[in-house]
Chain A
Amino acid sequence: MSSMLSFIIRRLLILPLLLIAVTILIFSMLSMLTPYERVSLYVKDIPKRQGAMEGLIKKYGLDDPVPVQYWRWMAGTKNPDTGEIEGGVLRGNLGWSKTGKGTVWEVIGRRLPATAELALWTAIPMIGIGIYLGVVSAVNHNKLLDQILRVFSIVGWSIPVFVFGLIVLLFFYAKLGWFPPGRLSDWASQVVQSSQFIRYTNMNSIDALLNGRLDIFRDAVRHLVLPVITLAYLDWAYLLRVTRSSMLDTLNQDYMTTARAKGLSENKVIRRHALPNALIPVVTVGALMLIGLLNGVVITETIFNIPGMGSFLAESAISLDVISVLGITMFNCLILLVGNLIVDILYGVIDPRIRLR
């Protein structure tokens, strides 16, 4: 266990270094832009008077050398009036997001619950269906069912999210009117914002349950159905493949013969001996996919008009909002890295070969 611990500590120590490298990479990416291009974020329209752009560049220090800007972002700035240091990543302040109209942390606080809720609800069908069908497919290897599922998953994998999302929206909302886009109906968002409703997590469906409001829960879930289907469909296709190949791998292992030679029924052979082994890589992949959902939500959130992290990042990236991109990417990387770490630890926990090395 001590090697595990040292592994974790090593990863934790490396984490800030990686983050700094990541931010430097983004910063150098963005330093390809001239101050005049960068200032366009502050100028939504043609400047009305002469010198406006130059004034703004000076005001936001965009003409400073890039390392100076980077350092300012890292260490913060000194307020000439109060003498206090404001902002600075090193002081835990990710800066002000022009796109999100709040500090980056505020924006994360505001936007993350929607994405997290989406991810949460996506995980259940994605993992459930994906793994189940993957197992079914592998057990029936090369039989008709396997072929059908395989083709189905390849087809699923070949459909662009935005085409799938558009079709789903067309059918279930525009045509049938079952599931609306957005996060909540107006009446429900009024309730949610009222003082009677305690917002524990800001994830509406969960808060609704915690508050005992089934009607709100129902409304929240109604809004989640379509994006969840869109997100999950693409991922279960992938998970199916991973599970299938992992399961096939396991089924080809020698210890399956041992189990059969012991007189175990085929059912038990698969359940007791094959699944625990086959699921180890699947758990990893599944967890990484969950983390990777942040990636997948960009388009889904755009299509379904969900104010989450994904749509926010797309917005700020397109409008070249340096601080927002930096802050959110940094946060994403943090999640990714911590997530990876957790997956690694998880891997160690579920696989005794690693845990007890």
Chain B
Amino acid sequence: MTEILSVQGLETQFRTREGIVHAVNGVSFNLDEGETLGIVGESGCGKSVSVMSMLRLIPSPPGQVVAGKALYQGKDLLKMTDDEIRHVRGAQISMVFQDPMTFFNPVLTIGKQVSEPLEIHNGMNKKMAYERAAKVLEMVGIPKAKERLEDYPHQFSGGMRQRVMIAMALITNPQLLIADEPTTALDVTIQAQIVELVQRLREELGMAIIWITHDLGIIAGLAKRVAVMYGGCIVEEAEVKELYANPMHPYTRGLLGSLPRMDESDHRRLVSIDGMPPILMEKPKSCPFLSRCTYAVDHCKTENPALKSLSPNHKVACWVDPNTGREF
């Protein structure tokens, strides 16, 4: 499998009135063709900002990518001209967003919005683009797609809108689909519909997917690899089964432990992670999880651990082996 995306040492900051917020602090990951990577983390951990930074969609000001590379098929997205990156966005890398209502332009028809990438990237005329849009909409399961091209976003239900959003992302046959919490706003039954749809489309179209979510449940059934983010860093990255079976970072452990499982039969007390996620007003010098960590040692206070490989398919950023309680 060839690698299509390689993000190295990405750092992003936001200038706010209170000071500079270090939202992303040296995030690195890569992605092979057709692979699905899950990025998991709580709100504010920098998961969305990372991918948005990569595509240079961070509003600037106040946001700014201060370091790192994002090699897409060997070319650094961060160094491309505006024109070049525009031809990557939407054409080769597409995005699906969380809230299907607010991420659609309310005054433009679905047809226009869905077909727009074709007009821009493939130079298609309106008629052809609309035909293709109808086809793609049908593919994502919009009934009577052709008739609905002239409808406006608010005339669709939430689940349908998210399907339309996916259609809009896929209409140019991108190599990489970035899904930023695409099911968070949806009900469970609809969420299941969408997950199934994406799984189907992945098989049909073979694109790589980065799926950003806070829901460890969804990602378990979807991703091949999972990266866990905390405090602007990736704290653990592993093959999906490995991660769930053998979480090595105290945060990952806590997270999994805090989730009640429906397939459990006995009632257990949930593991709770005390405290709350940090707001990084400066670049972390210690481990960002320090204050909430039950395994912390002195080393954790002085140095932010880097991501290191425990095995070929398992990396963790921690000084302590939680199984033994001692430093690696």
The answer on direct contact between A and B (beta carbons under 8 Å) is yes
Contacts from A to B (Cβ < 8 Å): 142, 253-255, 257-266, 268, 272-273, 276-277, 280, 350-353, 356
Is B200 an interface residue when CB atoms closer than 8 A count as contact? no
User: How long is the Cα–Cα vector from A261 to B48 in the complex, in angstroms?
Assistant: 13
B83-98: CB near A (< 8 Å → 1, else 0) gives: 1001111110011010
Q: Which residues of A contact B120 (CB under 8 A)?
A: 262-264, 268
Q: Which residues of A contact B99 (CB under 8 A)?
A: 254
Q: Count B interface residues, CB 8 Å.
A: 31
Q: Which residues of A contact B94 (CB under 8 A)?
A: 261-262
- With both beta carbons as reference points, the residue of chain B lying nearest to A250 in the complex is identified as B105
List which B9-40 residues lie within 8 A (CB) of chain A. Answer: none
Q: What would be 24 A-B contacts, judged by CB atoms less than 8 Å apart?
A: A254-B103, A255-B105, A255-B106, A257-B97, A259-B105, A261-B55, A261-B90, A262-B116, A262-B117, A263-B86, A263-B87, A264-B90, A264-B116, A264-B120, A265-B82, A265-B83, A272-B116, A273-B105, A276-B107, A351-B106, A352-B106, A352-B152, A356-B154, A356-B155
User: How long is the Cα–Cα vector from A263 to B91 in the complex, in angstroms?
Assistant: 7
- With both beta carbons as reference points, the residue of chain A lying nearest to B91 in the complex is identified as A263
Q: Which residues of B contact A350 (CB under 8 A)?
A: 107
Q: Which residues of B contact A268 (CB under 8 A)?
A: 120
Partner of B86, one of A257, A264, A273: A264
List which B55-97 residues lie within 8 A (CB) of chain A. Answer: 55, 57, 61, 82-83, 86-91, 94-95, 97
User: How long is the Cα–Cα vector from A356 to B156 in the complex, in angstroms?
Assistant: 12
Partner of B152, one of A258, A264, A356: A356
Q: Which residues of A contact B90 (CB under 8 A)?
A: 261-264
Contacts from B to A (Cβ < 8 Å): 52, 55, 57, 61, 82-83, 86-91, 94-95, 97, 99, 102-108, 116-117, 120-121, 152, 154-155, 168
User: Separation in Å of the A117 CB from the closest CB of chain B?
Assistant: 33
In the complex the two chains form, is A353's CB within 8 Å of B108's CB? no
Q: Which residues of B contact A351 (CB under 8 A)?
A: 106-107
Q: Which residues of A contact B91 (CB under 8 A)?
A: 263
In the complex the two chains form, is B152's CB within 8 Å of A263's CB? no
Partner of A258, one of B52, B87, B97: B97
User: How long is the Cα–Cα vector from A263 to B85 in the complex, in angstroms?
Assistant: 8
Q: Which residues of B contact A262 (CB under 8 A)?
A: 89-90, 94, 116-117, 120, 168
Most buried by B among A253, A257, A265: A257
